[in-house]
Amino acid sequence: MKFFILLALSLAFCGLTTAQDFNGDWQPVNWDPSNRLLSGMMNFGLQQAVPEAISAGNLPQGQWSLVHVNLITNQPQAGGAVDYNFNVNLQDQNGNKAHLGFMINNSANGSNSLLFWIVLPLDTPPSI
């Protein structure tokens, strides 16, 4: 019985110290187009952010397409959620180019929500 109590206390202590070690920094994520989680979040973000940017007058009307993924970072949140920052280059059918940053929250149950978006000048370094 003492073994099980000691085991439970050890696990609780290890869990607490692991939680204390979290520094809250944004971590880089390697872009892999075959990663369904990342691709799904990026597509969700583009489907949400581009029409909002057009409506707000930050992007001209048009069919915008992804040209390049510049940077992806993530940061764990409370309750098992993770926030993902995406920084991408877009181009429309007329050759207009844009630099778009957006943040997606991926909740613990797997649902996504767009937290914010921003259209940046093309000479902005790839960071959010």
User: Cα angle vertex 16, ends 14, 22, to 5°?
Assistant: 105
Residue 10 has a pLDDT of 46
Tens place of pLDDT per residue across the chain (128 aa):
443 343 444 444 444 334 444 457 899 999 999 999 999 999 999 999 999 999 999 999 999 999 999 999 999 999 999 999 999 999 999 999 999 999 999 999 999 999 999 998 776 666 54
Separation CA 91–CA 111 (nearest Å): 28
For each of the domains in the chain, give its residue range(s) and CATH number, in order of start: 23-120 (3.10.450.10)
Question: pLDDT tens digits, residue range 5-35?
Answer: 434 444 444 443 344 444 578 999 999 999 9
User: Cα angle vertex 64, ends 118, 95, to 5°?
Assistant: 105
Please name the amino acid found at residue 112. N
In DSSP notation, 33-76 reads TT-HHHHHHHHHHHHHHHHHHHHTTSS-SS--EEEEEEEEEEEE
